Structure 1
Amino acid sequence: MFGKLASVVERVLIGVLTVMVTAIMIQIVGRYVFSSTPSWTEEVARMCMAWVTMLGSAALVRRDDHIAVTAVIDACPPTLARALLALRDALMLVMAGGLAYYGYGLVLVGGRRTSPALEIPMFYPYLAIPVGAVLIAVMLALRRLECAERDVKSERAP
């Protein structure tokens, strides 16, 4: 089930990224070929960028592929390294919780406005923040559970 969630997030991410690239390409062609840019392309690209950022962060957390400086972790003994990684993950959970909480507040307050070009509620682009934060927390928890499960299995193996 956990793999299915990660797969769904990655597929949605690919779809949103495709829409964003298409909107940017339409904007470029409009500007340089027709000397007239459609007003909605920049707005769609910006909204998609918010979703790509948050969904991409969740996908990277799941894979443990975020950029990290590991010099301290690499220099520590394994037990201390595991403790530091657990502390890092706990801090990430706190930050994701704060992002979800305040992002939800932004959705409630800012979501009543409409976008200038598309005239859609800003609820949709703002929703990327709390949804992405919750997904980051879920993916982080799933990764930690899988690591703990792997550690237990490796300790039991002869």
Structure 2
Amino acid sequence: MDGLGATMAGAAQAAWPLRIAQGALRLLRRLVDLTLILLLGIMILAVLAQVAGRYVFNFSIGEATELATFAQIWMVLLGAGYAMRERLHVSIETLVEMLPPLLARLLMLPVAALCLWFLWVVFDGGLQLLEIGAIQTSAALQISMEIPYVALPVSAAYLALEAALAFGGILLGLKPITTGGGVRVD
């Protein structure tokens, strides 16, 4: 019995980093969800202000247009990570569905590698773009262009995390390879 207790204590010690990582992932996902909701609200209000300014007061509000544009950029780029988490990206699964499960999982290796390489290129390019943004200001809002440009490395990193989790689950056999022909069943 003493050996069993030691084994259970060892397993509990090994499990705490996993629990911390899972909690951090839940917190990050919740933060992304709330940010997406906030960005949608900002975009809606900015567009409504622009429409009201243009059609009620016969005056164009350039700041509202620019704010809506920046909110949309952030929303689309962060939303790509959300879509990866929910498996909402378009995929062609015909070949994968015809292969035996092991071979289909092996096929996911180069797919995952290409996706993560592309996201690295976007991340690195985003960092380079930040250097340019540091010396530029936006036309209407007069804010540093680092604010919209930082969306590239931030969203690429988040999308890479979600892609690594999705592909990792598939490669380890913890998640199904296909999503059921594009039909959500959950």
The normalised TM-score by structure 2 is 0.75
Q: How does 1:1-158 map to 2 (within 5 A)?
A: 1=23, 2-147=25-170, 148=172, 150=174
Determine which structure has more spread, i.e. the larger CA radius of gyration.
Answer: 2
Distance in structure 2 (CA, Å) of the matches to 1:35 and 1:89: 51
Q: 1:118-142: CA deviations, max 9, x gaps?
A: 1110000000001100111111122
Q: Report deviation, 1:146.
A: 4.1
Alignment length (residue pairs): 151
Equivalents in 2 of 1:127, 1:57: separation in Å?
Answer: 15
Q: Report if the CA contact (8 A) 2:53-2:61 is conserved.
A: yes
- Moved beyond 3 Å, runs of 4+: 144-147
Q: Distance in 1 between matches of 2:37 and 2:80?
A: 13
Looking at structure 2, the residues matched to 109 and 93 of structure 1 have their Cα atoms a distance apart, in angstroms, of: 25
Tell me the CA shift for residue 48 of structure 1.
0.9
CA deviation profile, 1:70-98 (whole Å, cap 9, x unmatched): 22222222222212223222211101101
SS in 2 for 1:69: coil
Deviation at 1:145, TM superposition (A): 4.0
Give how far 1:18 is off: 1.2
Gaps of 5+ in 1: 152-158
Q: State the superposition RMSD in angstroms.
A: 1.7
Higher helix share: 1
Contact 1:51 1:125 in 2 (8 A): yes
Give the superposition deviation at 1:52. 0.7
Query: Conserved in 2, the CA contact under 8 Å of 1:6 and 1:62?
Result: no
Q: Which runs of 5+ in 2 are unaligned?
A: 1-22, 176-186
Percent identity between matched residues is: 31
Give the drift of 1:53.
1.3
Q: Distance in 1 between matches of 2:107 and 2:173?
A: 18
- The structure with higher relative contact order (CA 8 Å, sep 6+) is 1
